[in-house]
Structure 1
Amino acid sequence: MSQAAAHRSLTHPREEVQPLQRPRILLAVMLLSVFMAVANIFIVNVATPSIQHGLHADFFAIQFVISAYTLAYAVALMIGGRLGDRYGRRKILFVGVAGFTLSSLLCGLSADVGMLTILRVVQGLSAALISPQILSLIQAQYTPERRSRIFGLYGAAQGLAASTGQLIGGWLLYWNPWGLEWRMVFFFSVPIGLAILSMIPWIPESRGDAASRTDWFGAALAAAGLLLLVYPLVQGQKEGWPASLVITLLVSVPVLALFIWTQRRLLQRHAEPFMNVSLFGQKGFGIGMLILFLFMSSQAGFFLISAYLLQMGLGYTPLQAGAVILPVGLGYFLASLMSSRLASRIGSHVLSVGSVLTAAGYGLLALIIHGTGPSPLIAAWIPALTMLGIGQGFIAAPLTHIVLSKVKKPDIGSASGVLTTGMQVAYAIGIALIGILWTNSLHPHTAEGVGQANVRVYTEAYLLCLYALAAYTVLLLPLSLRLNRK
């Protein structure tokens, strides 16, 4: 969730710092923008059962609604930074916020799940225009001595959005003005976006290296390869894995291989590729990307299945569901604030601490639910959820900085961009993978209504997923120890 440092690839450390103009407005734009983009993910997450019911969709369609946003964001992120360099960061920021605001409004007006999925793609593309410009403007406007504090505020805004997003989403659904139901979770971003748009004309313009060329062919190959990979993972279970989807999944391998080959050729010719794939030859970076993938994909899966268990299995309202998961967000937020102090004492072993707490949090939560039976005592979950949130915070906050410290100095910019893109890709794949396990675990005739049999089926499915997440995240510890040696 913490992406501030990762986006620094899209800034230019050699760029001359301009005299600071209207610092309070710039700071307000920055904090509101990051809060809007990050909170949107968690607000929508808690509303997924309501969206499914309101649009008469199935679980697989809702999976793709989430994945469409993250994939669009991932592919367009680096392009967004280059557009700001060429045409002006304030101008592209305005376009991004306007696109995000308008698409949020239209998402709330969607008539069916297909329309919502398309608009979520637009939202993701718009978010990819916002983040690079904000961080590049900070780089251009603040001296190195002040940037550390500003990036700290940026990270704190992300942590606050993550910790309160599900509760906000639940409250919006509980409030339900004019009977709008799930549509309110998208309308929430509209007034925030309008406020940001009113302030953007008052911040200074900034440009970077306009001469850099964008590798559009590489971007298209990356988008195609990821779509061919994720779509079958989401739809395969629903359609019984027909030959067409199996072939689609297999085709993703040569497409992604072609993408890697083209990127290497561009590097050999000293051209600028869409992604610097040579970074994966540096062992510290490769291990860091594995940690990031395991962490982000497991986190995405956990929040999705928790929303379904609490609302469709146990019959909780979205507000109650958001309150149940709140200890995770609070633990995450507190650990994010404490991570730098802990890292100053034990170095990159902070990731090892976070890895142990994360895996233990999943395992402890599974044991508690197993002991309480199909009608869990939610108050008993709090220690495990808090432990899980603290573990995630100790990984997410320092991960980017620690990984980049292992990379050669000339490659730090490219590595930051790859890390940020990897976060979004891992989130999308995590949603797809947990969906396969979740739907296989549920009884095929489970009704949507709450009943004793339904509670038992959903609880057993949730338990299986938690055990899988615990085993999955155990791998974080040996990887973090190895990264520390590198």
Structure 2
Amino acid sequence: MSATVPIPAADPVSAAGDRRRWIALAVVMTASFMDLVDVTIVNIAVPSIQHHLGASFSAIQWVTGGYALAFAIGLITGGRLGDIYGRKRIFLIGIAGFTLASALCGFAGDPAVLVATRILQGATAALMVPQVLAIIHVTFPAHERGKVFGLFGAMIGLGAVSGPLLGALLTEWNLFGLEWRPIFLINLPVGIAGLLLGHRYVVESRAPQSLRLDLVGMALAGLGLLMLLYPLTQGRESGWPLWGFVSMACSPLVLALFVRYERIKTRRDGSPLVELSLFQVRSFAAGVGVQLTFGVVCGIFFLVWTLYMQLGLGWSPLRAGTTGIPFSIAVSAAAGLSVAKLVPRFGRKVLQAGALVMAVGALIYLAEANRYGAGIHPWQMALPLVVMGAGMGLVVAPLTDSVLSDVPREHSGSASGLINTTQQLGNALGLGLVSVAFFTVVDHADFAHSSVSAVFTDAFTHALWWVVGGLLAMSALLLALPPKARPHTDEEADQAPADQAQTQALPVG
């Protein structure tokens, strides 16, 4: 995800001769699975959390958006920490922190505490997740990595399907009267086992070069993004005060200062948080825009979809969770077909088709929601969800390889880390935009003459137009990518697959 320098290849003899590496693989894959499921599992439980904690809608946005923002801001720094201090060490610190934060989330007694602990969870995930595929890369010889990354891809698909369903079941069962809390507490035994086994079986590794942390750059980037996202998320509840608009207006100035500092940092010691020279590559600069837009689309859709089904239609978490299964299956099937058959032949056109297919699915969903209203059934949602899922699958798997196609080999690690960070930032921005795309309609609704289901259906269809607009913008940005990805040499394939595979692994959810 964000390893910042090329990772040295593992010693094939020592790696192949040590059967314990498969236990290490199970540990790091379980940790990555835990992070992936945690994102999707929370979405399905959001209405239950809102009801039992008496949380405002802006607090609910922060439960999901705070995690995404902390995760995004910490990704590149988390990868750099692993390069400097040891990937095993940072991985263990990350999984310990993630487990502790999960416990704190599970025992949170009010919305403010839950938001704070979710931010902590995102920050610790940013320490844990970037190390996963870097550890795999230095643990397994080159001839075994194809099989290992295949297993990793299967685990991602399993997480996409099982996360919403597991969240629905845990919420529906109300284990020990804990309501939604088991969705976080389930991480405790998994995290403790991962910590103990990781300490014993994961091999330590570091980057060969001497690197430095860019703490000032991280602080400026975080401040600039927070100045944009906080008033965007909180402004609606506060009546859109003047300070919110001032903060959002000043955000680009802080981000411009960040860019200026990164240039100085590059000249001073060559260890910037972001390698600005990457933006001179036209396809990479456009790819950042694509990932940002894609993240915004996902951030808006998945949250408003959950609110529409559970709060608007009054469906149980289990009914809402099972409704999403066709979507997840379509994503996995189309992703495999895209990489194996379509992209090698048609290149960039597959990604553009995927964005347009997603937009068509959203339009079908919009039409069906308007037609059936509160009487819509899960089976009637299957068609638009399968179409949207197929479109997402066509995009999600080959996107990173296309974006990185023209990036110089020596910058492939930092480029892939930045691409994934951008997508996560887009997700956080999309969650913030839910205030405008969805809740504005709810706020201005006349509940005296309209039912809750009618209001939430109107809000959902309004948000779907935002999703369609984002997908059309994304399709236009894809024109700047190379018609076909540049073939990789054997040396490049050995140098950066971990970064690219990790970046491909996370857009869904």
TM over 0.5, shorter chain = yes
Shift of 1:229: 0.9
Structure 2 Cα separation of the partners of residues 83 and 418 of structure 1: 15
Map of 1:65 onto structure 2:
63
Aligned partner of 2:45: which letter? A
Equivalence for 1:197? 195
Of 5, 9, 12 in structure 1, the residue corresponding to residue 6 of structure 2 is: 12
The CA distance in 1 between the partners of 2:83 and 2:475, in whole Å, is: 39
Aligned to 2:294: 295
Aligned match of 1:404: 404
Q: CA deviation at 1:415?
A: 0.7
Give 1:225's aligned amino acid. Answer: G
Tell me which amino acid in the other structure corresponds to 1:402.
Answer: S
Matched position secondary structure for 2:398 = helix
User: Residue 141 and residue 80 in structure 1: after superposition, are their counterparts in 2 closer, same or farther (change >3 A)?
Assistant: same
Counterpart check, 1:392 vs 2:392:
yes
Amino acid at match of 2:294: F
- Cα distance in 2 for residues equivalent to 1:443 and 1:264: 44
Structure 1 pair 339/192, CA: closer, same or farther in 2 (3 Å)? Answer: farther
Contact persistence 1:34–1:154 (CA under 8 A)? no
Shift of 1:127: 0.6
In 2: Cα distance, 1:195 partner to 1:428 partner: 30
**Which residue of structure 1 aligns with residue 257 of structure 2?**
258
Mapped pair 1:226 → 2:225: yes
Q: Which amino acid aligns with 1:145?
A: H
Any idea what the Cα deviations from partners look like across 1:181-225, whole Å, max 9, x if unmatched? 111111121222122123102222222236200111001111111
Asked whether 1:360 is paired with 2:360, we answer yes
Q: CA deviation at 1:72?
A: 1.1
Say if 2:235 is the partner of 1:241. Answer: no
Structure 2 distance, partners of 1:139, 1:76, is 21
Q: Is the Cα–Cα contact under 8 Å of residues 71 and 122 in structure 2 kept in the other structure? A: yes
* Partner secondary structure for residue 47 of structure 1: helix
Residue 440 of structure 2 aligns with an amino acid whose one-letter code is N
Give secondary structure in 2 for the equivalent of 1:406.
coil
Question: Does structure 1 residue 184 correspond to structure 2 residue 178?
Answer: no
Say whether the 8 Å CA contact 2:44–2:167 is kept in structure 1.
Answer: yes
| Deviation of the 1:11 alpha carbon | 5.5
Q: What is the aligned partner in structure 2 of residue 145 from structure 1?
A: 143
- Retained in 2: the 8 A contact 1:160–1:333? no
Counterpart of 2:109? 111
User: 2: CA distance between counterparts of 1:132 and 1:293?
Assistant: 19
Q: Distance in 2 between matches of 1:477 and 1:154?
A: 28
* SS state at 1:475 partner: helix
Deviations 1:51-86 (A, max 9, x none): 111111111111112111111111111222222223
Q: CA deviation at 1:319?
A: 0.9
Task: Report if the CA contact (8 A) 2:262-2:273 is conserved.
Answer: yes
Q: How does 1:451-462 map to 2 (within 5 A)?
A: 453-462=451-460
Aligned partners of 2:9 and 2:142 also within 8 Å: no
Q: Distance in 2 between matches of 1:432 and 1:381?
A: 26
What is the CA distance between 1:244 and its match in structure 2? 1.5
**Cα deviation 1:347-391 (Å, max 9, x = unaligned):** 232212211211111111111222223322331110110111111
Q: 1:10 to 1:408 in 2, by over 3 A?
A: closer
* Deviation for aligned residue 1:159: 2.4
Q: Match for 2:145: what amino acid?
A: R
Give the distance between the partners of 2:467 and 2:142, measured in 1 at CA: 40
SS of 1:207 mapped into structure 2: coil
Structure 1 distance, partners of 2:329, 2:101, is: 30
- In the alignment, is residue 32 of structure 1 matched against residue 30 of structure 2? yes
Asked whether the equivalents of residues 294 and 470 of structure 2 are also in contact (C-alpha less than 8 Å), the reply is: no
In structure 1, distance between residues paired with 2:446 and 2:178: 27
- 2:94 corresponds to which of 93, 96, 117: 96
In 1, the alpha carbon distance for the partners of 2:121 and 2:307 equals 24
Cα distance in 2 for partners of 1:27, 1:347 equals 32
Cα distance change of structure 1 residues 445 and 362 upon mapping to structure 2, 3 Å threshold:
closer
Unaligned runs of 5+ in 1: 1-5
Q: Do the aligned partners of 2:10 and 2:141 also contact (CA within 8 Å) in 1?
A: no
2:44 pairs with 1:50: no
Cα deviation, residue 324, structure 1: 1.2
Hey, what's the Cα distance between the residues in 2 that align with 1:348 and 1:445?
42
TM-score by length of 2: 0.90
Pairs aligned (count)? 478
Asked if structure 1 preserves the Cα contact closer than 8 Å seen for 2:40 and 2:163, the reply is: yes
Taking the aligned partners of 2:187 and 2:95, their CA distance within structure 1 comes to 10
Q: How does 1:73-88 map to 2 (within 5 A)?
A: 73-88=71-86
* Mapping 1:115-130, distance limit 5 Å: 115-130=113-128
Secondary structure (helix, strand or coil) at the match of 2:425 reads helix
**Partners in 2 of 1:11 and 1:150 — Cα distance?**
21
Answer whether contact 2:67 2:119 (CA < 8 A) is retained.
Answer: yes
Residues 357, 348 of structure 1: alpha-carbon distance in 2 compared, 3 angstrom cutoff = same
CA contact (8 A) 1:45 1:304 kept: yes
Q: CA deviation at 1:323?
A: 1.0
Aligned AA for 1:157?
A: M
SS at match of 1:292: helix
Contact kept in structure 2, 1:60 and 1:238, CA below 8 Å: yes
Q: Structure 1 runs of 4+ off > 3 angstroms?
A: 13-18, 443-447
1:97-149 residue CA offsets vs partner (Å, 9 max, x unmatched): 11111110110100111111111111111111112221211121222332233
Alpha-carbon deviation of 1:437?
A: 1.6
RMSD: 2.0
Q: Which amino acid aligns with 2:135?
A: L
Q: Aligned partners of 1:129, 1:35: CA distance in 2, in Å?
A: 15
Q: Percent identity?
A: 36
- Which residue type is aligned with residue 26 of structure 2? A
Give, in angstroms, the shift of residue 177 of structure 1: 0.9
SS at match of 2:314: coil
Aligned pair in 2 of structure 1 residues 206, 446: CA closer, same or farther (>3 Å)?
A: farther
Query: Closer, same or farther in 2 for the Cα pair 1:485/1:340, shift >3 Å?
Result: closer
Bigger Cα displacement from structure 2, 133-142 vs 82-91: 82-91
Q: Give CA deviations for 1:257-312 in whole Å, capped at 9, x if unaligned.
A: 10011112222345210111221221100111111111121112111001111111
CA distance in 2, matches of 1:340, 1:23: 28
Q: In the alignment, is the contact (CA less than 8 A) between 1:356 and 1:391 conserved in 2? A: yes
1:441 aligns with 2:435: no
Structure 2: distance between partners of 1:209 and 1:127: 24
Deviation at 1:397, TM superposition (A): 1.3
